[in-house]
Amino acid sequence: MTFPDRNRGGSGVYARSLVAALRERDDIDVAEIRSSPPGLARTIRWLTTGASSGLRAAGAQLLHSPNFVVPWNVPIPFVTTVFDLSTRRFPADHPFEWRAYERWAMPSRARAAARVIAISELTRQDVISTYRVEARRVKTIHPGVDRRFFQAGAPVHAGEPRLLFPGAPVARKNLETVLNAMAAAPAGSFLSSACLWISGATADQFPDHMTRIATLGLAGRVDWLGLVPVEEMPRVMASADVCVYPSLYEGFGFPPLEAMASGTPVVASNASCLPEVLGDAALLVEPTDVESFGEAVESVLSHALVRARLVNAGRDHVREFTWEKCAERTMDVYREALAEAG
């Protein structure tokens, strides 16, 4: 849990939710191991010797590293989860140490794993082709969606339509398409008066976006919510009229599914794994087609039937993504790994 402990989103959500679902079962005993506080020297010691000592002390039969950092010298079979290869697709979104580890260490650790779990079929194919892992040892298991999003009640609000861009607007998330669509919206349209919420970041963290927002004349229509507490995110999701997610690359994409669970329609891109994950429960548009993206958002804001269809389809679709199902399929992978190890 060393690296999930340091991540409130993505791999952190996955690891904590999977552990909780596994602990509810009666066919597995789960022990968590983690390193001391962050620091390069401490982290290296943990990866080289500390984790192995912790495994022996726990009497573990199998190690699962629920993100792409795997300890070395592991004395038992291990499973690792790979989320995406965004460090290669969009290197500027990641610090140097993550890029270096993924490129130089992760391929050999993935090949050494008894099994690799990929959180989408797109990621599975990337692991097979890029890391050269035998196909039979890479399993696609979709994560679940936190139950709290299903319990979010949509607050009643008046005034301008609200768009939600969930997450920090790093390069691959493609905030530009949303901003350009808002600026280009025809006068009198719903989109022309819509406001945009950006969660997961503050304005000072993205000065280039702030400049673009000002240049497009959108300064009064964009609110930066900062890092929204986990327990508050369902309310924020449910308060939006549309979740906009024009991402260029995803390994899975939690936010649009969370929006669906909250009863909020989704307009997303048709890139990477999003068609696989969202199916026909969202409006999917070419991520760089500003006009089409704007038209899709406008159709949700202006047509009650379109909105109702997406809300109903989204709620039905997202029910397939449960942590219980994820835990069951993960247990199958553990059994395969242990059986193969003898």
101 burial level (CB within 10 Å; 0-12, 13-18, 19+): middle
**Domain 152-318 in this protein, CATH class:** alpha beta
pLDDT confidence bin for 54, thresholds 50/70/90: confident
Q: Tell me how far CA of residue 217 lies from CA of 171, 177, 222, in angstroms.
A: 21, 15, 10
pLDDT at 286: 97
Supply the pLDDT for residue 156. 60
pLDDT of residue 157: 64
pTM: 0.92
pLDDT class of 154 with cuts at 50, 70, 90: low
Local structure of residue 268 (DSSP, 8 states):
E
Residue 136: both structure tokens together: 């039979």
Name which residue leads in pLDDT, 86 or 295. Answer: 295
Rounded to an integer, the average pLDDT of 327-342 is: 95
In the predicted structure, residue 39 carries a pLDDT above the cut 80: no
Confidence at residue 116, expressed as pLDDT on a 0 to 100 scale:
97
pLDDT at 43: 78
The H-assigned helical ranges of 191-265 are: 207-215, 233-239, 254-261
- % the chain with pLDDT above 90: 73
Distances (CA, A) of 118 to 115, 158, 232: 10, 42, 29
**Tokens matching residue 337:** 């790994």
State the DSSP string of 76-107: S-EEEEE---HHHHSGGGS-HHHHHHHHHTHH
Tokens of 332: 């199958």
For residue 332, pLDDT over 70 is answered with yes
* Angle 111-115-120 from CA coordinates, rounded to 5°: 100
- The correct CATH number of 2-144+322-341 out of 3.40.1360.10, 3.40.50.2000, 3.30.360.10, 3.40.50.300 is 3.40.50.2000
SS3 123: helix
Is 70 exceeded by the pLDDT of residue 158? Answer: no
Q: What is the pLDDT of residue 34?
A: 84
Helices (H) and strands (E) in the chain, counts: 16, 10
pLDDT of residue 155: 62
Q: Fold match between 2-144+322-341 and 152-318?
A: yes
- Strands ordered across the beta sheet of 222-226: 222-226, 195-199, 162-165, 242-245, 266-269, 283-285
Nearest CA among 244, 247, 172, 183 for reference residue 212: 183
Mean residue pLDDT of the chain comes to: 92
Percent of the chain with pLDDT over 70: 98
Q: What is the pLDDT of residues 176-222, one digit of tens each?
A: 999 999 999 999 999 999 999 999 899 999 999 999 999 999 999 99
Which tens digits make up the pLDDT trace of 98-138?
A: 788 788 888 999 999 999 999 999 999 999 999 999 999 99
Q: Any idea where the domains of the chain sit in the sequence?
A: 2-144+322-341, 152-318
Give the residue among 195, 171, 170 at the shortest CA–CA distance from 182: 195
